[in-house]
Structure 1
């Protein structure tokens, strides 16, 4: 029997997704069908739309690299195995997925929060714990602290006992940063960041911005400081002083989940869900759009007007 579902499809590269009913692919090789409830928007989705990631994959195909829904009456996170990149993703009422792409959602974690766990949650945990090796003696500066990952990193860093400042370029977002437990730091440019952060002498910087902000962060870091890069929303290219790097004995590292093997992706999602359940990790959802308004949701993501995560309500009964 042919099953049809409402979905947001990539038809043409660098164009708005087409929202329409599409035929659900027949499961094969042990695949299962998940009834989706919520799907998250991530910068990775915009790279897919532009063709920078998965550009050679067949089109049309359904977008969305993560989400949460129900399978056999149980809540699950759906992520990985090429979903939303080289095969149909989560921006749909139903998705065909490999069982390895499903992670059970523990009691006490909402489907809205679970829908963000695989990308935001994993990135925050890997960046702070695995790569950054944060300690309670650290003085931490989080760049882009009002974003989804930024707020999650702030919550983890504060929970670890570190002294934390969260940078944002908008006065309207200061309250959201403060809600994570971090001290808000208003700096709309790299020059403003250098002036505001220099007295703090941070031992660690978590950098979601890149561009000129990375160079400014290197300048203000304490000796033997660490910088962890996990995003470039302010620019992929940066100028920095290598003399400063070696004279201060700085360590610059990066985290990107796209290259991780399936078992690491799954383990990261499980860690994030556990941290959400225990209250160690906070992923605020700022707005939820119906699937029909995916273009407006993408505008909010690209325009960086959101304070926290943006979700799509992909349930077939969503208004």
Structure 2
């Protein structure tokens, strides 16, 4: 089978589409025939060598955090999943994988997949796995957004940002989206009450907010200062400066900056499917690339300016 692998750390040019043996599921595992995956920040920083503590330094390293497809085989003891079921899921972000979601087949633990929403294509489903899970954990579990609270979503036009705008709106928040001005119409349609152009907006001119969801990872202390009393801030845009700001906020301030690594299992994936079915969450896809062009998808992600997700399809026999 074909699988995208990192053969050395570096730019998108280090990605290779290799012929590898098709894996077989062990006890408690499922083999998924992948139809689509998406590009996430995790994929890019692993490829660049910035997560060696997770990925290790032994090559090859698999690419692709999330996936949508169909169950091709099940291991011993697996219940609730049958061959042919349409599923979505995610490989474990804190484990090393030689083959991951950007492959024709991937093996994962059965507790890392769930039935994909029936009305979503595999492209749309793949676009929501990491983005939707991250936004849901951030708003529901990390900051516990309450009805009527004022929410700022920073980096609102990206994958996590577009999901966070929708979920914050569905949870009764008054949503301010900070993004490029050209995305204002999209973000308003997704539920933003106000859209601010990040190119002309400074942190000291806005707020206060009860909740801030940051997907950028810079200037965190500046935005933290815009929290109201009792306000909460969470960031998913990790960098060296972001980690320093998180550490400082936990020591010196009551309004600490939270962070987490999205690691959804079956119950959360089912919750997301319910949100899709109810109309509270819908996919936003910026562009679609075939597996053969995954390097171009990574390059597009790194250029920024995205509205939603870059999705990679996995057609059989076309690479």
| TM-score range normalised by the length of the shorter chain | 0.7 to 0.9
Distance change >3 Å, CA 85–CA 309, structure 1 → 2? farther
Distance change >3 Å, CA 304–CA 38, structure 1 → 2? same
CA distance in 2, matches of 1:60, 1:34: 20
| Contact 1:209 1:235 (8 Å CA) reproduced | no
Q: CA deviation at 1:310?
A: 0.9
Residue among 196, 204, 211 paired with 1:204: 211
What SS does the corresponding residue of 1:38 show, helix, strand or coil? strand
Q: For 1:158-307, what aligned pairs fall within 5 Å after superposition?
A: 158-168=169-179, 170-182=180-192, 183-188=194-199, 192-197=201-206, 200-212=207-219, 214-232=220-238, 236=242, 246=253, 250-258=255-263, 265-307=265-307
Q: What is the match of residue 99 of structure 2?
A: 88
| Contact 2:32 2:69 (8 Å CA) reproduced | yes
Divergent runs of 4+, >6 A: none
Instruction: Give structure 2 stretches of 5+ with no counterpart.
Output: 72-82
Distance change >3 Å, CA 318–CA 179, structure 1 → 2? farther
Q: CA deviation at 1:31?
A: 3.9
Q: CA deviation at 1:21?
A: 3.0
Normalising by structure 2, we get a TM-score of 0.84
Q: CA deviation at 1:96?
A: 2.8
Total equivalences in the alignment: 301
CA distance in 1, matches of 2:10, 2:114: 31
Q: What is the match of residue 14 of structure 1?
A: 10
CA distance in 1, matches of 2:302, 2:96: 18
Instruction: Give structure 1 stretches of 5+ with no counterpart.
Output: 259-263
Normalising by structure 1, we get a TM-score of 0.84
CA distance in 2, matches of 1:288, 1:18: 19
Q: What is the match of residue 261 of structure 1?
A: none
Distance change >3 Å, CA 234–CA 290, structure 1 → 2? farther
Residue among 49, 52, 57 paired with 1:51: 49
Q: For 1:102-181, what aligned pairs fall within 5 Å after superposition?
A: 102-168=113-179, 170-181=180-191
Listed one character per residue, the Cα deviations across residues 83-120 of structure 1 (whole Å, up to 9, x for unaligned) are 98434101012223333333221322332232134321
Distance change >3 Å, CA 133–CA 26, structure 1 → 2? closer
Q: CA deviation at 1:160?
A: 1.7
CA distance in 2, matches of 1:57, 1:267: 33
| Contact 1:285 1:310 (8 Å CA) reproduced | yes
Listed one character per residue, the Cα deviations across residues 136-156 of structure 1 (whole Å, up to 9, x for unaligned) are 221111100011111111101
Distance change >3 Å, CA 73–CA 234, structure 1 → 2? same
Distance change >3 Å, CA 205–CA 159, structure 1 → 2? same
CA distance in 2, matches of 1:55, 1:215: 30
Which 10-residue stretch deviates more, 178-187 or 74-83? 74-83
